[in-house]
Structure 1
């Protein structure tokens, strides 16, 4: 082989080696090492439903018709209640 072909194979070999190292590093970070997963679990967005206070409504005479009143939901799972 001539010198030009040898250089081409050396350059291709270097690029192939870098690509294999890069792929192995990605595999290690995503599959084997769980520190990034634990870090990302702490930074996840939390969806919280926040119900806005509705406005007070008055009729044309200025009399209060609708007002805000807090309401709560209570849910009980029978299996989690201890009977004494």
Structure 2
């Protein structure tokens, strides 16, 4: 497949089954839903869940990654100074 053909294929909208599979996977990973639970939800309900999730991500303060020194201090505290 040429680069232009690949670009055109990527620009094409995904079919229903592809989108449904991606959404089902997302709800399984993020919400712990089974496929049966996914198929019982209406599109409006799913949209409301997505909107709430996006809003929560926008308003949540950024979390700084743990620094190595902090990790070592935490390990020291949890192990009470013991090394494995």
- Using the size of structure 2 for normalisation, the TM-score is 0.25
More helix by share: 2
Query: Which of these two proteins has the greater Rg computed from alpha carbons?
Result: 1
More strand by share: 1
